[in-house]
Structure 1
Amino acid sequence: MSDDLTIRGGGVVAVATEDHLLLGALLLELGEACASWADRVESVSTDDVSLVPVGPTIVPQADPGAGSGAAAKAATSLRRASDDASRLGGHLIVGAEQYGELERMVQSLFTFTGGAAGWVLGASPLIPLGVLAAVGEVTLIRTVFRGMLGLLSSGLQDGFDEASVKTARELMSSPAFVALVRGVVSGSDEFLIGAFGLPAMLDANRLSEQGITGVAFAAAVALRGVDRAGLLTPAAPVRTVEVKAQGAPAPLKPPTRYEDLVERMPHGGAGSPQIRIERYEDASGADQWIVWSGGTIETGFPETSTEPFDNRSNVNAVAGLEAESAEATLQAMRLAGVPDGASVLHVGYSQGGIIASRIAASGTYDSSVVTFGSPVESVDFAEDLPRTHVEHTEDVIPALSGERRDSLNGGTVVQRSLYDGGPPPAGDDPLPAHNLDRYRETARLLDQSSEERLTPAIDPLAGLTGTGDVWQYRADKVLP
């Protein structure tokens, strides 16, 4: 497991690990220190040291120039060390920036290639039909083979099932698979354009001129398809109520770090709150609000469900349409008394990160955003909206909003590799890299980092005073 953080942000993509940044800064400081000492030693070398005090008398030295010569040599060595350290430190930082530029160029090439491939697949229906036929054939062979093992021994069949689950788990936790998903999702709008018989390369940029975003457009079309197929529960009104904590509430101290934000994330579940809101006062006496939106609770395709944090809300949120989970969060904010224009730090995990981002991007509040493991690439942020998006390179969920755009519009994206290219540890979690506990570990590393780009999103936490108020809310769909 790696402790390196890859940080992108500041408008132009810049990529560097924390070690590179720290070493580059240390070398620059060392260069400045060596230059300063060289100046001091050079000043000593020009002093008249032909006479030195020895006891009560002054006696001539045997070699008056020896001290000056040694000082001059030392100053020259220090000057050379200063130049080397400054040059190496500068090269480290510039190299990191050039790496980011190269990565962006490669990413643009992959995006272009993926879009073209998506259009070809959409315009040539025989190709996706062939792919589906191949997948169906593999599935049939697997089913037959599994059945044959069952005839021989139930133990062999159980072992085959365990191996299949392990293989699928490792595949979905592979960075290569995550990159593939990003590419496929990014090409989904071009696929639909080709399927509709529209001209090639009428991509997300042209669609955006008509108010349509590429991946959001594809998500909206997909939503209509699954609605007709009856795969998702129908849209329904949402009712949000406060969940009272049992017993006397403990004094609530304000969060100060990224780890605190993860630690207070609601987990949801049957009858449990999905939304948390806290209010504090800053040093000027103004209110500072913090709103947490939790992750997806209902992950399947049930015929009936009252859970608003479900797959329908996932697709709606990515598509920029009204999502029941977003409505639940807005209802909770109204119940807590958050006024329009208030200073709000929106925090979200998984689906909750899309909701937090959508509400912040609406401009209704004076917002900043922090998300963990969330697909937020379809959200159009204002350039001056402070935000930090944290994701693991083995987590497929953030990839569900497609490739990262060239400009982050002032935001910061932090990536961390959990398994360094190896398989995930054994366990029952199908998506271990998406686990909230793993994001808490990463948040702890963010708190230990000296990277300045991590500061703006959590600036609202600085200077909060006293104890705060807390509300927790449970939302449910009202089905007919």
Structure 2
Amino acid sequence: MSGIEVTGGVAGLSVGLTELEDSAARLGVLGTELGEIAVSIGAVAPDPRLVLAGLLAPLELVEVELALLGCSGPTGVAAAATDVVATALATTAAVRTYRAGETAVEALADSIATGAGRWVGRTLGPPLLAGGLVLAPAAAVVLSVPGGRDAALAVGLGLGREVDEILHDHPWLVPAAADGLDGLLLGLGEGVPALGAWLAWRSGRVGVPYPPRTQQEALGVVLAATRGVVLDESGRGARLTPHPSATGRAPRGVADLVAGDGPTSGASRVRVTGIPQPDGSWAWVVDVPGTQTFSPEAGTNPFDMTSNVLHLAGRRVQIMQAVVDAVDDARRRAGDTGPPRVLLAGHSQGGLTAAALAADPAFRRRLGVTHVVTSGAPVASLAVPDEVSVLSLEHTEDLVPGLEGADNPDRETWVTIERSLADDLGPDGRASQAHDDDRYAETARLVDASEDPSIAAWRAGAAPFVGREVPTVTTDYDIERR
């Protein structure tokens, strides 16, 4: 079984850079103080009282003056002050140079991805659009004849498996394509001016910027274009149906939070687990399920592609309010009237929903979110604040976390666990296998066994939710889009 790589957390690069900056600031203060001492020592040498004393003891005066010169001269305190200040300035400059270089590289990579997407849209957009118009009637005929749908499905499945294997072997393709989505839409508009004018008109009607400059703005253009047809749940609500509460056990580790059959998992339902604390308060673990239907039409099941795209575009979705209502109901049943304390967990879309709730100031305060655990979820661009501790599990060959085209933040309160499954899955591995929940449970068990400083610090902070041998109260909730 392949091992894990840890980034972020208390041992992460950003924490190290911050510590260097803090150390440089302290060195600067120390250098200033040493300089003041050197000046004070130098001021003693011409003191009239010392000169008068030298009339009586000239040899001793010479010795004292030499000693003072040694303290304040080029080998004394003054030199030490100069060295300390120089070290502080050099350290600060090095950190700032590194950060500036990192920002420049990210900007260059984003520019390249946007340029590539623009070229693809401008060059391939017109022939693909024309080909689609030509083939549409033929496709309609094939789907209408007996056996035509089965044949089309067989071809589609075959092509899908080929693509699945290609993405497993080249996992960088998905984040690169996602990062260039804004350029792709811009290129399509340039290659097919009528399409560009229509996209600009549709975007303007709902106040979405066009042409888009970021992936999130590009998704906004897509949602503007599909508004009222697909990927649209406006005017819809969510119905919450609770099931009878039951007793269970608290999660012993990250594996219990991630596994599909773990004590806090509600399978296709939202599960809210209450964990009693020694002081009489409660801690709550909320498990949000992943995508259950891939239809682009907003149907009765909200765990669908509509919610996924809305999440990535930075919009609120009906699931988010339903999860908040579920937690309120579970707390009311348990008689928890104290300040809320919640860990949100989820795989794939469930993790995306969890992070989106933590990033929303109103929902975060109402829920009392302190921790988030995601597996196989694209959460890098969500503005989860530093006050929330995040643990993200990602597989290198899993295309879903790469849908945002960005890396997770490297900071003290965000730990990312990455694991490559190339050796485990073998040469015929597929990207969809790397997204499997059971595979993430394996990775979570490696996390539980790890003594990495960042993981250990996260584990200590999550003590109210994980590792307590106490009976719990669990309630499952069905969520339906009305």
TM (norm. structure 2) is 0.63
Name the counterpart of 1:351: 349
Matched AA of 2:283: Q
SS at match of 2:397: coil
Name the counterpart of 2:182: 189
Name the counterpart of 2:92: none
**Offset from partner CA, 1:351-379 (integer Å, 9 cap, x none):** 11111112222341141110011111221
The answer on 1:3 being equivalent to 2:6 is: no
Q: Measure the CA separation in 2 of the matches of 1:476 and 1:133.
A: 36
Name the counterpart of 2:244: 244
**Offset from partner CA, 1:410-433 (integer Å, 9 cap, x none):** 31111111123844458xxx8211
* Deviation for aligned residue 1:121: 4.0
The answer on 1:468 being equivalent to 2:463 is: no
Report the CA distance shift for 1:114/1:164 in structure 2 as closer, same or farther (over 3 A): closer
Name the counterpart of 2:274: 279
**Offset from partner CA, 1:214-263 (integer Å, 9 cap, x none):** 33322222222222444656651101011237xxx4x5221120111122
Matched AA of 1:393: T
Please list, as runs of the form range in 1=range in 2, the aligned pairs for 1:201-350 lying within 5 A after superposition.
214-230=214-230, 235-244=235-244, 249=246, 251-262=247-258, 263=262, 264-268=264-268, 274-302=269-297, 305-337=299-331, 341-350=339-348
**Offset from partner CA, 1:52-84 (integer Å, 9 cap, x none):** xxxxxxxxxxxxxxxxxxxxxxxxxxxxxxxxx
Q: Measure the CA separation in 2 of the matches of 1:184 and 1:161.
A: 21
| Greater fraction of residues in helix | 2
Q: Measure the CA separation in 2 of the matches of 1:116 and 1:13.
A: 32
Moved more, 157-166 or 327-336: 157-166
Matched AA of 2:292: I
Q: Measure the CA separation in 2 of the matches of 1:425 and 1:179.
A: 16
Q: Measure the CA separation in 1 of the matches of 2:369 and 2:466.
A: 16
Q: Are the aligned partners of 1:110 and 1:183 in contact in 2 as well (CA < 8 Å)?
A: no
The answer on 1:432 being equivalent to 2:433 is: yes
* Deviation for aligned residue 1:11: 8.2
Report the CA distance shift for 1:468/1:406 in structure 2 as closer, same or farther (over 3 A): closer
Alignment size in residue pairs: 354
Name the counterpart of 1:207: none
Report the CA distance shift for 1:231/1:214 in structure 2 as closer, same or farther (over 3 A): closer
Matched AA of 1:355: T
Q: Measure the CA separation in 2 of the matches of 1:280 and 1:158.
A: 47
Q: Are the aligned partners of 1:341 and 1:366 in contact in 2 as well (CA < 8 Å)?
A: no
Q: Measure the CA separation in 1 of the matches of 2:152 and 2:330.
A: 54
Give the RMSD, CA atoms, in angstroms.
4.1
* Deviation for aligned residue 1:294: 0.7
Name the counterpart of 2:400: 397
Q: Are the aligned partners of 1:319 and 1:378 in contact in 2 as well (CA < 8 Å)?
A: no
SS at match of 2:463: helix
Name the counterpart of 1:90: none
Percent pairwise identity: 26
* Deviation for aligned residue 1:301: 3.0
Report the CA distance shift for 1:107/1:472 in structure 2 as closer, same or farther (over 3 A): same
Q: Measure the CA separation in 2 of the matches of 1:349 and 1:309.
A: 12
Name the counterpart of 2:83: none
Q: Measure the CA separation in 1 of the matches of 2:131 and 2:338.
A: 51
**Offset from partner CA, 1:385-440 (integer Å, 9 cap, x none):** 211111111111111122126645731111111123844458xxx82111111111
Which runs of 5 or more residues in structure 1 are unaligned?
A: 16-99, 198-211, 269-273
SS at match of 2:471: strand
Report the CA distance shift for 1:443/1:105 in structure 2 as closer, same or farther (over 3 A): farther
Q: Are the aligned partners of 2:251 and 2:467 in contact in 1 as well (CA < 8 Å)?
A: no
* Deviation for aligned residue 1:108: 5.7
Q: Are the aligned partners of 2:275 and 2:471 in contact in 1 as well (CA < 8 Å)?
A: yes
